[in-house]
Structure formats: C-alpha cells, structure tokens
Amino acid sequence: MRDDETDTEAPAGPTPRSRGRPDGRGELDTETQRRLGRALRAHYADLLNAPVPDRFAALLAGLEAAAAGGPAPPDAPAVEPTGQEDAR
C-alpha cells in the first residue's frame, strides 16, 4: 500500500482501546496487529524481493564462515577484527 492509498478494511472512527492490559497501554489488539502487518508487508514488498548485491552476498558469506570457524570464501572481502572492511 502506498502512502497516498487508504486501507479500506480499516474501521472508521476512533481506534478501540487495547484489550491486552487493563489500562489499555502497551499492547495492540489482534486486528490492529494484522492491519499493521499487512501494511508493512505491502510497503516493503519491493525491497524484500530485490536481489542481494554480489558484494553484500560475499561479505555475508565471509562473516558466516568466520562465525563457523572456517576459512572465508575466496571472493569475500577482508574484514578487520574491529568489524571494519579492509580498504585494500
């Protein structure tokens, strides 16, 4: 859903109080959570379906190998112990 679109399934009028806690703070009711989930999935769908850049995939592979204690893949960039990428 784009910013200029309206959620036609959303109820009109004030939002009901949360049924999670007696004072109505801190928790969202199930329907509100569902609406938020649908809106967030629609908003970020393009980003979630975008391909991962090769350089980023290689960096992730190197970090996973380092965490597993194995050698880094040959195409993975060098990573300093501080977490900063080597500028070579």
Side chain identity, residue 53 = P
Instruction: Tell me what pLDDT residue 1 has.
Output: 54
Spatial separation of the C-alpha atoms in residues 41 and 43, rounded to whole Å: 5
Instruction: Tell me what pLDDT residue 27 has.
Output: 86
Spatial separation of the C-alpha atoms in residues 58 and 85, rounded to whole Å: 12
Main-chain phi, psi angles of 27, to 5 degrees: -135, 150
Instruction: Tell me what pLDDT residue 88 has.
Output: 45
Instruction: Tell me what pLDDT residue 60 has.
Output: 93
- Cα dihedral 65→67→71→76 (10° resolution): 50
- Residues of the chain with pLDDT below 50 are 87-88
